[in-house]
Amino acid sequence: MWNNVNKNILCLKVLRGLCNCCVQRYASVGVWVKRTQEKHRHCGENPSKNSLLLVTRNYSSTRPPWRVLFFGTDDFAVESLKMLSASRESNDGVVKSLEVVTLSKDVAVKKFADQNKLPVHVWPVGDLQRRFDVGVVVSFGCLLREGLINQFPFGILNVHPSLLPRWRGPAPVFHTILHGDSVTGVTIMQIRPNRFDVGPILHQEVYQVPCNSTSDQLGVTLALKGAQLLIDTLRNLPERIKNRREQAKDGATLAPKISTSMSWVLWEEQTCDQIDCLFRSIGSRIPLRTIWMGKTIKLLDFTGKCNISLSGRGKTPLPGSISYLKESNTLAVCCKDGWVGFKTVLLKKKLSAADFYNGYLHQSFQKISPKQECLFHSNTGRTKHNSKVGNSLTKQQNVGYMS
């Protein structure tokens, strides 16, 4: 059995015993071929021994609307699924049919598919029987094998929220904020078998990162822009594939999953801006942490850089030094180049800055424990990853896409 030759019609010209009539007849459609000695029914010619007879199948059109199979899981992926679904319902000529592959019953994509009566396949999928023209992957998290990709005549597309090759990996939006990038964007690329984020680029759009944006805010914006770029790509898919470009070898960076090891603050090494980036990147999901008298304390409600005068304080304060600002009810903590503030902390329970001051920083407490330093300490035993981030921020800050 030969493979499907729809992807490369030139194969038709080298099939043994194939008459010119057959070449012309099947040059514009997807076909399977098999060995046979039967007479060609449509032209009456007798093929030579072991020649090939083309058997037509209804595979794929060469222009939209497309039959789409969507792979996704989370809220970021839902935005693209919404736009694909809207396109199908509006008959705008881009999406003909739409089905979904997801990982479990609890993810956002599954809920949206059920609500909108979209057919759902449980991962992993098997033989798709050539029922789809193109696949779309958004925030799916699973490697796709070559056998699956080859079932789609136009391959499988991926919506990725960065300007590839910058921030390849599962957490590009978080790392964009963490490293203080001023420029990001979205990329539509083709999936390569068993690899993440290395395929050729079909479409790309630049986006300026707003000042003080959090990863959650940026993610919402890029999800919408990615969905719009996806529809635009599908509208001109053959042309986009023809003009695709390989990713640049320079400028590639990795965006691994976020973890609690990233949340430890290094008062001696991190600047106010770096702590600000850290909080805006992961703070909504993983609270920043430090050590207070041998115990972990979580730092909540970050307020940014604090303007504190050092005049009259004597010696320069050590990193991790704490000051209570009564006027704004804020705990200010000294870091590498200044002070940053927090409104709330979590020790055994949530405490406001005033509660923490009255319970732990007041003079009466200092009299009880005169040997205790009034400092937050970096957890040096658990901050290998964070240290690397802190050291690289200065080098990578305000770096956008590098081609």
Buried b or exposed e, range 316-346, using 16+ CB within 10 angstroms = ebebbbbbbbeeebbbbbbbbebbbbbbbbe
Which residues constitute the domain of residue 309?
Answer: 260-382
| 355 in the same domain as 300 | yes
In a domain, 188, yes or no: yes
Give me the pLDDT at residue 14, please. Answer: 40
pLDDT tens figures, 180-220: 999 999 999 999 999 999 999 999 999 999 999 999 999 99
CATH number at residue 161: 3.40.50.170
Residue 16 has pLDDT above 80, yes or no: no
Give me the pLDDT at residue 12, please. Answer: 37
Give me the pLDDT at residue 77, please. Answer: 98
In a domain, 400, yes or no: no
Residue whose tokens read 């499988």? 156
pLDDT tens figures, 90-101: 978 999 999 999
Residue 382 DSSP label = G
Percentage of residues of the chain with pLDDT beyond 90: 69
Taken as a whole, the chain contains a residue count of: 403
Q: Which amino acid is at 335?
A: C
| 114 in the same domain as 163 | yes
| 321 in the same domain as 213 | no
Q: What backbone phi and psi angles, to 5 degrees, belong to 362?
A: -60, 155
In a domain, 249, yes or no: no
Query: Considering the chain, what is the average pLDDT of its residues?
Result: 82
Q: Is 15 helix (H, G, I), strand (E, B) or coil?
A: coil
Q: List Cβ neighbours of 403 (8 Å cut-off, separation of 6 or more).
A: 248, 250, 251
CATH number at residue 369: 3.10.25.10
pLDDT tier at 310, thresholds 50, 70, 90 = low
Q: Which two tokens stand for residue 95?
A: 């999406």
| 142 in the same domain as 21 | no
Buried b or exposed e, range 266-292, using 16+ CB within 10 angstroms = bbebbbbbbbbbbbbbbbeebbbbbbb
Q: Is 21 helix (H, G, I), strand (E, B) or coil?
A: helix
Spatial distance between the Cα atoms of 173 and 176, rounded to a whole number of angstroms: 5
Spatial distance between the Cα atoms of 65 and 67, rounded to a whole number of angstroms: 7
Mean predicted confidence (pLDDT) in 286-313: 88
Residue 2 has pLDDT above 70, yes or no: no
| 308 in the same domain as 285 | yes
Mean predicted confidence (pLDDT) in 279-287: 97
In a domain, 247, yes or no: no
Residue 43 has pLDDT above 50, yes or no: no
Give me the pLDDT at residue 313, please. Answer: 56
CB neighbourhood size of 90 (10 A): 10
Cβ atoms of 322 and 351 within 8 Å: the answer is: no
In order, the DSSP letters of 253-276 are: -B-PPP-GGGGB--TTT--HHHHH
Residue 403 has pLDDT above 80, yes or no: no
Q: Which amino acid is at 221?
A: T
- Terminal Cα-to-Cα distance of the chain (whole angstroms): 43
| 210 in the same domain as 78 | yes
| 181 in the same domain as 102 | yes
Give me the pLDDT at residue 267, please. Answer: 97
| 130 in the same domain as 94 | yes
Give me the pLDDT at residue 395, please. Answer: 38
Cβ atoms of 85 and 116 within 8 Å: the answer is: yes
Considering its fold, how many domains does the chain have in total?
Answer: 3
Label residue 104 exposed, middle or buried (CB < 10 Å: 0-12, 13-18, 19+): exposed
Cβ atoms of 88 and 98 within 8 Å: the answer is: yes
